[in-house]
Amino acid sequence: MGHGIDIVSLPDFRRLMEGLETAFISRTFAQSEIAQFPEGTSRVQHIAGRFAAKEATLKALGVGFGNGISFKDIQITRENGKPPIVTLCGGAATMAQQIGITNWQLSISHSEDTAIASVIATAENNIPDA
C-alpha cells in the first residue's frame, strides 16, 4: 500500500539538538518513546533513527505533517529483542484507516554519519502467514 524511506545526517541532527534537545523531544515524541531513549554516546543516533522512522511512515502514508497529523501521532517503540514497531494515533491512525493500511514493517539503521529508516505499509490481506 505504501513505502517510505528517510535518511538523517547525524552531524546536522546534532547541531539541531544543541540547546534545543528538551523542546524538540517534547514536541516530537510521545512519553512512551522518550522512555526508551538511551543516555550516552548512542543517544543522538537513536533519536535520529526514530525521527527518520516517523518521516518514513509519513511517506508511506503519502502525506506530510500538518495535514491533521502531528509528530506524536506516529510512535516508534521497541521491545527488547524485537524489531521496532509503528503505532499510530490521532490523524495518522485516521488516515491509515481511510486508505486501508493495517500493518507496518519498519527497519532502522545507523552509521557514524547517518540514520536511516524504511517503512512498508500493507493491508491485512497482503501479509503472508508466518
* Class of domain 2-126 (CATH, top level): alpha beta
One digit per residue, the tens of pLDDT, for the chain of length 130 reads: 899 999 999 999 999 888 888 889 999 999 999 999 999 988 999 999 999 999 999 999 988 777 789 999 999 999 988 999 999 999 999 999 999 999 999 999 999 999 999 999 998 865 555 4
User: pTM for this one?
Assistant: 0.90
Q: Do residues 50 and 58 touch, judged by C-beta distance below 8 A?
A: no
Domain spans, the chain: 2-126
Query: 16-48 burial string, b = 16+ CB within 10 Å, else e?
Result: bbeeeeeebeeebbbeebeeeeeeeeeebbbbb
Grid cell, residue 102, equals: 493495517
